[in-house]
C-alpha cells in the first residue's frame, strides 16, 4: 500500500462488499474478517466501518476513544468465539516503521498456536 495514504484502501471494498472477505463478525460500527495471508491458524482483522481519519493509530484523537474501545472489546469477544481461550495476540502496525501496509486502522488478532515474544 501507499505510505500513509489518505485515499481509499482495499478495506473500503471489503466494507461495501465489492470484494469478498471471510467475515466472522459485523455490527453497525465494525467488521472482523480473516486475513488473506494468515500468520497463524487463526488470524483476523477488526476494522472500523468508517475510517474517520484513522488511517493509522497515531492519527487518533479524543473523539476516537469510543471506537478504539469498541474495536478492542470486539477483538477479544471474537477471539473467544474463535476458540482462542488459551490466549492470543492483538497487534496494530503503525506507519512504515511498524510495517503497516493498509492505511485504514485495523487490529490484527492472531492465535491458535504458541506465540513467541518479541515478534521482531
Ligand atoms: P498491515 O501490514 O497494514 O498491518 O496489515 C494489513 C493486512 O491486511 C495484512 O496482514 C494483509 O494480509 C491483509 N490484507 C491485505 N489485503 C487484503 C484483502 O484483500 N483481504 C483480506 N482478507 N486481507 C487483506
Question: What is the overall mean pLDDT for the chain?
Answer: 95
Q: Which atom of ligand 1 is nearest to the CA of 91?
A: 4
Residue 3 has a pLDDT of: 56
- CA-proximal residue: ligand 1, atom 12 (nearest): 37
Q: Rounded distance, CA 81 to CA 5, Å? A: 33
Share of the chain above pLDDT 90, in %: 93
Distance 106 CA to ligand 1 centre (A): 9
pLDDT of 56 > 60? The answer is yes
Query: Which residue's CA is the nearest one to ligand 1's atom 18?
Result: 36
Averaged over 108-120, what is the pLDDT?
Answer: 95
Cell of residue 106, nine digits: 485495523
For 24, the grid coordinates are: 466472522
Whether the model clears a pTM of 0.95, i.e. scores above it, the answer is yes
Residue 104 annotated as catalytic: no
Determine the residue of 2, 33, 35, 103 to mutate for testing ligand 1's pocket, defined as the one with the most ligand atoms within 8 A of the Cβ atom: 35
The residue nearest atom 13 of ligand 1, judged by CA position, is 35
**Residue 90 DSSP one-character state:** E
In DSSP terms, which residues pair with 109 in a beta bridge?
A: 44, 90
2-6: long-range pairs with CB below 8 Å, 24+: 2/103, 3/95, 3/96, 3/103, 4/55, 4/56, 4/95, 4/96, 4/103, 5/55, 5/103, 6/55, 6/103
Amino acid at each position: 500500500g501507499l505510505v500513509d495514504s489518505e485515499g481509499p484502501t482495499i478495506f473500503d471494498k471489503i466494507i461495501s462488499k465489492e470484494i469478498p472477505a471471510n467475515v466472522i463478525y459485523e455490527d453497525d460500527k465494525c467488521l472482523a474478517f480473516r486475513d488473506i495471508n494468515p500468520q497463524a491458524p487463526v488470524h483476523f482483522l477488526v476494522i472500523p466501518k468508517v475510517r474517520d481519519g484513522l488511517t493509522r493509530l497515531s492519527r487518533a484523537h479524543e473523539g476516537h476513544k469510543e471506537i478504539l474501545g469498541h474495536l478492542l472489546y470486539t477483538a477479544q469477544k471474537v477471539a473467544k468465539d474463535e476458540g482462542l481461550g488459551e490466549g492470543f495476540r492483538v497487534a496494530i502496525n503503525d506507519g512504515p516503521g511498524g510495517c503497516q501496509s493498509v492505511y485504514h486502522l485495523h487490529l490484527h488478532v492472531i492465535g491458535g498456536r504458541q506465540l513467541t515474544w518479541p515478534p521482531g
